[in-house]
């Protein structure tokens, strides 16, 4: 799939597998047909590198995050901007929909994770506590908890409703670049610049 004019930061399938979304240093998001390879939409509007792009659970919307400190929601069919979510004071590393598609989370170089209403674009929570930029974040499958990891070497588990910290997973000696839940949500895996992958008990926060 060729067409971007800068390095490609992210790529992901739509839930139905019929499309791919990609984001780039060229400040565009592109939608591609997985069968023909044709470009379906070019989403333009960000004024900085776009670090991530992802589909909503129903494949009807796209969320993107950018070096311009904003998150954008797009109509995946016509390519129109639906919402511009402003509030971060640093580059937005990643944005993703909740499993039910009603919320969006974003994480940033401003050391925070933010939760947003995906319908009206309102800010719902600012999760503060990391002492370094937040590299990635993810919802639990039920949408009630959020996982984040940071350059401060810590993985945090948050209550998505109250914003309270539920667990702090400490043990890595380098930046934690990615963390994810297991399919049954009972474990967490994290990977770090310390060359180590760690498994954790998601309930009690203990290293496994």
Same domain for 19 and 73, yes or no, is yes
Residue 105 inside a domain? The answer is no
Residue 114 inside a domain? The answer is no
Q: Which of 48, 80, 97 is the last residue of a domain?
A: 97
Same domain for 138 and 76, yes or no, is no
DSSP string, 166-184: EEEEE--SS-EEEEEE-TT
- Could you tell me whether strands 28-33 and 19-24 are parallel, antiparallel, or unpaired per DSSP bridges? antiparallel
What's the CATH number where 63 sits? 2.40.10.480
Structural domain count of the chain: 2
pLDDT value, residue 68? 98
pLDDT value, residue 145? 96
What three-state secondary structure class fits 70? strand
pLDDT value, residue 162? 95
pLDDT value, residue 59? 96
Residue 113 inside a domain? The answer is no
Residue 207 inside a domain? The answer is yes
User: Can you name the residues that pair with 169 across neighbouring β-strands?
Assistant: 155
Residue 26 inside a domain? The answer is yes
Full residue range of the structural domain in which residue 188 is found = 129-208
Structure-block tokens of residue 134: 């937040």
Same domain for 47 and 90, yes or no, is yes
Residue 124 inside a domain? The answer is no
160-185 residues labelled b (16+ CB within 10 A) or e (exposed):
beebeeebebebbeebbeebebeeee
Same domain for 92 and 178, yes or no, is no
What pTM was computed for the model? Answer: 0.94
pLDDT value, residue 52? 98
pLDDT value, residue 53? 98
Inter-residue contact 175 to 193 (CB < 8 Å): yes
Inter-residue contact 67 to 109 (CB < 8 Å): no
Same domain for 57 and 8, yes or no, is yes
Residue 31 inside a domain? The answer is yes
Same domain for 142 and 92, yes or no, is no
Residue 80 inside a domain? The answer is yes
Same domain for 63 and 144, yes or no, is no
Q: Which of 97, 114, 139 is the last residue of a domain?
A: 97
pLDDT value, residue 192? 98
Q: What is the pLDDT of residues 69-88, one digit of tens each?
A: 999 999 999 999 999 999 99
Same domain for 2 and 78, yes or no, is yes
Q: Which residues of the chain have pLDDT under 50?
A: none
What three-state secondary structure class fits 26? coil
């Amino acid at each position: 799939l060729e067409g971007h004019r800068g390095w490609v930061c992210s790529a992901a399938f739509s839930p139905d597998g019929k499309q791919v979304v990609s984001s780039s240093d060229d400040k565009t998001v592109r939608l591609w047909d997985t069968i023909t390879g044709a470009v379906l939409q070019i989403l333009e509007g960000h004024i900085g590198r776009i670090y991530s792009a992802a589909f909503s659970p129903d494949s009807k919307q796209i969320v993107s995050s950018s070096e311009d400190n904003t998150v954008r929601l797009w109509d995946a069919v016509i390519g129109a901007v639906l919402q511009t979510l402003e509030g971060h004071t640093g580059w937005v590393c990643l944005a993703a929909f909740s499993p039910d598609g009603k919320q969006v989370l974003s994480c940033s170089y401003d050391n925070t994770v933010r939760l947003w209403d995906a319908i009206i674009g309102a800010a719902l929570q600012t999760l503060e506590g990391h002492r370094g930029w937040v590299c990635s974040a993810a919802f639990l499958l039920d949408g009630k908890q959020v996982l984040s990891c940071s350059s401060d070497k810590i993985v945090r588990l948050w209550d998505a409703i109250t914003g309270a910290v539920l667990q702090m997973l400490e043990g890595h000696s380098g930046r934690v670049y990615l963390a994810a839940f297991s399919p049954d949500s009972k474990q967490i895996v994290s990977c770090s610049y310390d060359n180590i992958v760690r498994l954790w008990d998601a309930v009690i926060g203990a290293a496994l």
